[in-house]
Amino acid sequence: MLKRSEYLKSDKILEPPLNINLPYFAYGLFKPDQLAYNKIKNLTKKHNSGKIHAEIYLKDGIALLKPIKTGKSLINGE
C-alpha cells in the first residue's frame, strides 16, 4: 500500500474534462483534504459544501453515487 506522500508524488495525471466549466460534485476521495483531491486541485476554481439525494454503490472498493430525485439518503460533498 502506498503512503500518502508517495501517492501525491505519483506521476499519474488525470486528463482534464472536455468542458471544464461544468460543475463537479466531489465526494469521498476527491473531496478537499482527501487523498485524491491533489489530482483535481488544478481543475477547481472554488468549492462549497453541499448535499445531494443519492444511492451509494460499492464497486471494487470505490463508492459510486447514483443521484435520485428524492429519498432519505443525503450525501455530503463539495
Q: Please state the φ and ψ torsions of residue 35, each to the nearest 5 degrees.
A: -55, -45
Compute how many other C-beta atoms are within 10 angstroms of the C-beta atom of residue 49: 9
Domain ranges of the chain: 45-78
Residues 6+ apart with CB under 8 A from 52: 25, 65, 67, 74, 75, 77
Residue-by-residue pLDDT tens, the chain, 78 positions: 667 777 666 556 667 788 888 888 888 888 998 888 888 888 888 889 999 999 989 888 888 899 898 878 888 899
